[in-house]
Structure 1
Amino acid sequence: MFDDMDELATDYDDRVRNAREDAGLSQSDLANELNEKASLIRKIERGETLPSDEVQTELEDFLEISLSAQGSSGEDTEWSGGSSTGSYTLGDVVKRKD
């Protein structure tokens, strides 16, 4: 079920703000275009709230951007471990507290 979901990029707020400004739109203008509240756009741009899947899709389509982590540089500095087969076990992910 979760395999099809893309992880939201950590800089989603900057991507939305920059794309909106590049389009010459105010937060209110963007909210009107998406039929959303301006306060939601403000919170998304401040990183105070995550967009719902529906709002994420609307933002991506209207602003012609990607908000998924796969749309970023592709570097994943936090993750290490795993096997050469590409499959991971619980032991690859969990850090023990001894």
Structure 2
Amino acid sequence: MFDEMDEIAQDFDDQIRQARESAGLSQKDLAQQLNEKASLIRKLEQGNSLPSDDVRTKLERALGIDLSAGGSTDETEWSGGSSSGEYTLGDVVERKD
């Protein structure tokens, strides 16, 4: 279920605000364009609320932005174990006897 969902960027609030301001839109104007409430736009820009998938899609299309988390964070995929790409519990757990 969650495999299909992209993670949202940590700075989604700043991205939304900057894109809206660059487009010359007020929060109310953007909300009307998206058929959403201005209070939702305010909460998103303050980082007090995460956008639903539907709202996220609307924002990305309307503002021409990508709110998915990029690969530039400190998080890196773990690599190791067998060369076949399959791991067992023994590959990642160190046993204490």
Instruction: Give the TM bin, normalised by the shorter chain.
Output: 0.7 to 0.9
- Residue 88 of structure 1, CA deviation: 6.4
1:23-62 equivalence runs, <5 A: 23-62=23-62
* Residues 1:2 and 2:2 aligned together: yes
* Residues 1:76 and 2:73 aligned together: yes
Letter in 1 for 2:43: K
- Tell me the number of residue pairs that the alignment of Structure 1 and Structure 2 aligns: 90
Query: Which runs of no fewer than 5 residues in structure 2 stay unpaired?
Result: none
Letter in 2 for 1:76: T
Alpha-carbon RMSD across the aligned residues, in angstroms, is 2.4
- Residue 76 of structure 1, CA deviation: 2.9
| CA distance in structure 2 between the partners assigned to 1:32 and 1:81 by the alignment | 43
| CA distance in structure 2 between the partners assigned to 1:25 and 1:67 by the alignment | 18
- Residue 4 of structure 1, CA deviation: 2.0
Distance 1:89 1:47, change over 3 A: farther
Question: Does the 8 Å CA contact 1:82/1:89 hold for their aligned counterparts?
Answer: no
SS of 2:36's equivalent in the other structure is: coil
Q: TM-score, normalised by structure 2?
A: 0.79
| CA distance in structure 2 between the partners assigned to 1:76 and 1:82 by the alignment | 17
| CA distance in structure 2 between the partners assigned to 1:55 and 1:16 by the alignment | 12
Distance 1:89 1:46, change over 3 A: farther
Which of 1 and 2 has greater Rg? 2
SS of 1:69's equivalent in the other structure is: coil
1:15-26 equivalence runs, <5 A: 15-26=15-26
Q: Percent identity?
A: 60
- Which aligned runs of 4 or more in structure 1 are off by greater than 4 angstroms? 84-92
Q: TM-score, normalised by structure 1?
A: 0.78
SS of 2:44's equivalent in the other structure is: helix
Query: Which runs of no fewer than 5 residues in structure 1 stay unpaired?
Result: none
